[in-house]
Amino acid sequence: MAEDNCIFCKISGGQEPTTVLELETDEFVIFKDIKPASQHHYLAVTKRHYTSLKDLDKTHDALVARMESGLKEFLAGKGISVQDALLGFHLPPFITVKHLHMHAIAPRSEMGFLSRLIFRPSVWFKTAEDARVYLSQVESSQ
């Protein structure tokens, strides 16, 4: 379900013609981040609106895994080292767009000082692996 004023809902729904979709699946789209933290910075944005990782539970583990593998395959297909990439999610209140999105930043080793702070694995930024551990501990709301 799309939110009327959500820019990521518009992008993932193909209603934002200025954003080039690099890849599209049934569940998410991949496009360039407008404020890159390194030479390559892409977002995997779900087509279904979730505000953040906090909206998910253990039943969403496979979705997160598909987003991660989709981003890794996308990067590898562009000749970008997956070994020097950072993939993960910010948690509220440290998100600028309140729509679930996974960052893929490469090369991680070339991130600037401020970007290293913003995307440092911590309580406010979960790597893809940490996100799956987090989800495994959240009971299903169904």
For 93-112, what is each residue's pLDDT tens digit? 999 999 999 999 999 999 99
- Cβ–Cβ < 8 Å for 78, 115: no
Active site includes 101? yes
Lowest mean pLDDT among 1-15, 30-44, 46-60: 1-15
Catalytic: which of 41, 99, 101, 103? 101
**Domain 7-136 belongs in CATH node 3.30.428.10:** yes
**Residue 1 pLDDT > 70:** no
- Cβ–Cβ < 8 Å for 30, 44: yes
pTM for the model: 0.94
**Residue 142 pLDDT > 70:** no
**Residue 72 pLDDT > 90:** yes
